[in-house]
Structure 1
Amino acid sequence: MYKSFYHFLMKYRTIAPKDAISRFANDAYNDLAFPKNATDYHEISSYLELNGHYLESMAVFDEAWEEYLISES
């Protein structure tokens, strides 16, 4: 994988989020401790489970992760 998940997620960042992934992207952008260089599912998932209080559901992360895998393949 060439780009980090964070870098991928930032393409969903918008001024007025329309969906859960856009809200996730905006919140991850504002989370200064988010693992910005990570490409490992378990590293990001563990971080979000402990610190991702802004995430509506881990299903949002899973959906974004699937999109990330598709874009990187």
Structure 2
Amino acid sequence: MERSFYQFALAYRGGSKDDDHAVFAEAMFNDLAFPKNEKEFDPLSRYLEEKADPHMRSVIFDELYALYKERF
């Protein structure tokens, strides 16, 4: 079974506050409306653009999504 982006990114939680991936993952975890089952780039990107949370920056999402696609 392929994991969703949310499930993948949760692995970065708990890191240093200086780690952009950890900050993104923590903010994503605390966002109850985050699309937890989504696997595709466009819906996730659209959600983040509309949300405009400073802790979930699109450049960090792009990095994490590239890692996600490499592994899954």
Q: TM-score, normalised by structure 2?
A: 0.89
- Which 5+ residue runs of structure 1 have no aligned equivalent? none
Instruction: Note closer, same or farther for the CA distance 1:56–1:44 as it changes in structure 2 (3 Å cut).
Output: closer
Once the two structures are aligned, what percentage of the paired residues are identical?
A: 36
- Which 5+ residue runs of structure 2 have no aligned equivalent? none
Aligned residue for 2:14, secondary structure, equals coil
CA offset at residue 15 of structure 1? 6.0
CA distance in structure 1 between the aligned counterparts of 2:56 and 2:28, rounded to whole angstroms:
12
Worse-matched range after superposition: 15-24 or 30-39:
15-24
Contact 1:24/1:54, CA 8 A, preserved across alignment? no
CA distance in structure 1 between the aligned counterparts of 2:25 and 2:3, rounded to whole angstroms:
15
- Which position in structure 2 is the counterpart of 1:30? 30
Superimposed CA distance per residue, residues 6-34 of structure 1 (whole angstroms, 9 cap, x where no aligned partner): 00000000064341110000000000000
Count how many residue pairs are aligned between Structure 1 and Structure 2. Answer: 72
Amino acid paired to 2:26 = N
